[in-house]
Amino acid sequence: MTSDPVLPVIAKYLASCGISSRRGALELIQAGKVAVNGVTVTLPSIRIKSDDKVTVDGKPVKPEERKRYIMLNKPRGYTCSNGDIHAKKLAVELITVPERLVSAGRLDKDSEGLIIFSNDGTYIHTLGHPSFNIRKRYHVRLDGELTDGEIGMLKKGISDNGELLKPDNIVSLGECLYEFTLNEGRNREIRRMAARCGRQVRRLIRVSIGKLRLGNLPPGQWRDLTEEEIGQTLSQDIS
């Protein structure tokens, strides 16, 4: 049985809430302005549990949590699921920030390119749920050309293991290279569509989410998104 998670001493906690410095927190405690679960705090060394309710002058306070929105150019061989205990290399481990991040959707281990990590649950849900119609584009090199009939069949949608696989669009870029546009991100969806046509995927790179493009970010590198870029990821249109 595990013990309840414990936060730092109350002075440090108040400082993390942006209320005051730790020295200022001591003054607030001495003035009788701080309470935990409705009981006035008298000792600055008291430790609190994560589910305790802390108030200053009767107003609840919580630590500030910086929201991070990070784009990563995922290299081949990295797993996106943080909880995969069998994965040798996790994509999130390429990102060196103190916040706990999760991916907005996934790229399978053999796929590359643009993936977003964040600690904003609402944002992650919006990017990943098909009802929000956030389109993703992939550049896919196959081991052979698709016929016009095969492209037409895929665009109409195919059934595979009880799932409907239906891209928004497929465009030939020449020399066995295609651009697939998807709204949903079913498990290995593009690879399954290619297999239906008797083709294998040689390389698969996600190049955009909404209007945000991967650009020249090198493989294995990451950076924070600007506010404008966050809005681009949520755009339903692709230019």
Residue 171 to residues 157, 162, 183, Cα–Cα distance (Å): 15, 26, 15
Pick from 46, 51, 55, 53: nearest CA to 8: 46
- What does the alpha-carbon distance between residue 112 and residue 110 come to, in Å, rounded to a whole number? 7
Residue 20 to residues 24, 26, 28, 45, 61, Cα–Cα distance (Å): 5, 9, 9, 16, 12
- Based on its alpha-carbon atoms, the radius of gyration of the chain, rounded to whole angstroms, reads 24
Q: Is 176 left (phi over 0), alpha (psi -120 to 50) or beta?
A: left
* Burial environment of residue 131 by CB neighbours within 10 A (0 to 12, 13 to 18, 19 or more): exposed
- What does the alpha-carbon distance between residue 239 and residue 180 come to, in Å, rounded to a whole number? 14
Tell me the residue type at 112: E
> What are the structure tokens assigned to 96, written together?
């060196």
Please calculate the CA angle 145-108-184 and round it to the nearest 5 degrees.
75
- What does the alpha-carbon distance between residue 61 and residue 10 come to, in Å, rounded to a whole number? 12
Question: In the chain, how long is the greatest CA-to-CA distance?
Answer: 78
Q: What are phi and psi of 22, to 5 degrees?
A: -65, -35
Catalytic residue from among 4, 52, 84, 108: 108
224 catalytic per annotation: no
Active site residues: 108
